[in-house]
Amino acid sequence: MGNTGPADILEGMDELVDKLVALAFSAVLMAGGGAIDAAAAVGMAAGISASALFELAWPAHRRAAQVAVAAFLVASALVPGAFFLVPLAAYDSERAFGKGALWASLASTLPQALRMPEAIAWDAALVAAVAGSCLLSERTMRLAAAERDLHETRDALSDDLLALRAKNAELDEARNDEVHAAELAERTRIARSIHDSVGHTLTRLLLQVEALKIVHQGEDGVEEELSDLSEGLNEALSSMRASVHALEDTGLDAKAALGRLARESGIVHVTVACDLERDAPVAIRRFLVSFGREALTNAARHAHAEHAEIRVRSFPGMWQISCENDGAVPEGTEGLEERGMGLAGMRARCEELGGVFAIASKAGRFRVFASIPRTGRGSS
């Protein structure tokens, strides 16, 4: 029947059982009609063939299936003995034509049934057999429709569940990114706090020691001790600065920084896609953030863009970043780097890292692009 799903197989089994019942109705009618002659045998063969053709054609070739059923119903009105198989045809006609199938099936039997002895009894038996076949067909169709609805609902729920799981995974990732960004922000805050408090204190003490060295110049013992103290303070200040810079470097999250720049850019719609690894070199992270800042500033200030997209991609041999916007597109790209748009600085920083920088203007879009090799000066 052209269907291979579990629900379709079950539906096919139900239809087979129903048709066997309809065929039994036909057999009872034939048995009650006396001896089975050649016409009845031909009619039985024709009815079974028509039903088989219907199953082969339905539902892929709906019109052919309807023609097969209709042709047998017409034949049953003309060929003696064929109307015995009308209950089987009625089952198919209910599926093929729906409402009105019962009356069409009964009408096809009347010319032959009226010729039978005890016409009233035969009419009652035919009505019962045809009506029973139609009811079986309608019941099976309703059950099949309910089964299909059930499977569709289950599939829809499965799709919704998968979507929810994907959304939960997305939210978990976003939450982890936020936690990571908060940790890095706190690390940066601590570094700045150390720089502002301890650094200033050490600098003040160092200046005081240098002043005391001038005051006690010529006093060998005191001057030597002050020199040692000054040297120690210098070492402490250098160590503190190195630690602060290290904290600031580890606290730089390119993805979070680009997201913040996007929110603060003043452009209505900005999307950021960044798959940069968290342990990317500091020089690369700084360059990406600087690139994004300049590109978004140009898109907002010079192009007056409404949409912009920043995309950072990591490949085995390089890092790439691009920024594209739909703002006012300049005619050509020659001379743009001399117009105070920051493009020259972006190119210089890119080339310092051994990378390639490019700008393009096409189809109402302006795009800046940079590619940095992993073997370049920014990879260490």
pLDDT tens across 132-173, in order?
A: 677 776 777 777 777 778 888 888 899 999 999 988 887 887
Residue of 50, 43, 146, 126 lying closest to 92 (CA atoms) = 50
Which carries the bigger pLDDT value, residue 37 or residue 314?
Answer: 314
Mean pLDDT of 3-8: 51
Residue of 332, 357, 339, 334 lying closest to 347 (CA atoms) = 357
Q: What pLDDT digit, counting tens, does each position of 171-201 carry? A: 887 787 777 777 767 777 777 787 777 778 8
Residue of 88, 72, 85 lying closest to 132 (CA atoms) = 88
CA dist 8 to 3, 70, 156, 379, Å? Answer: 6, 25, 18, 60
Whether the CB-CB separation of 258 and 301 falls below 8 Å is answered with no
Could you identify the residue written with the tokens 């600031």?
Answer: 248
Taking the C-alpha atoms of residue 18 and residue 266, their distance in angstroms, rounded to an integer, is 70
**Residues sharing a CB contact under 8 Å with residue 373, sequence separation 6 or more, in sequence order:** 317, 318, 354, 355, 379
At residue 295, what is the residue type? A
pTM of the model as a whole: 0.47
Taking the C-alpha atoms of residue 224 and residue 226, their distance in angstroms, rounded to an integer, is 5
**Residues sharing a CB contact under 8 Å with residue 122, sequence separation 6 or more, in sequence order:** 33, 113, 116
